[in-house]
Structure 1
Amino acid sequence: MARTHDPRRFWSVIRVCLVPSLAAETQGLVATEAMTNGIPVVASDRGALPETLGSAGVILPLPARLTPSTRSLPTAAEVAPLGGSDHPPLG
């Protein structure tokens, strides 16, 4: 996607939002924006991300070290229950 100043255009091509934050997030603005735009969110268990997502996303413990196996994208079946059905299917 080309650079854009229109957030609606940006969010229209996103299928899942990954927020593997290492910081103690106080809210998680990116996660909030994604949910507002109907995008499923997978986030780490840091700070207020679990409270921000509630049951609307997937919270995972962040591994001590990120490796190729911990960076794999969730499958379509894993994110389907989170919504975003108006987006193209994942790989």
Structure 2
Amino acid sequence: MNVEVRFSFENAGKAATFLSDPPSMALKPKEKRELTIWAYPTSPGFLQDKLICSIGKNPEPVVFSLCCHGVHMELEVSPLELSFDKLLLH
């Protein structure tokens, strides 16, 4: 008997800091599959959310707390001017 597992985030409507793939999966008994989770912080600081796993007909979802730390990126290039030789563009 297969079971359908759906994944969502508690703060999905407010900010899309965390993303998962796939959004759902069908699992056979004792089957294991990989769920990929990405964090894309849009502002500096500590960000958190909860991954909600709704499993088939189970009345209670399984919840995992997630967090990441966003930082302001700075990039400095030295020298300020870069020159390239001829470059073939297709």
Q: Quick check: TM above 0.5?
A: no
Q: Which has the higher helix share?
A: 1
Kindly indicate which of the two structures has a greater share of residues assigned to strand: 2
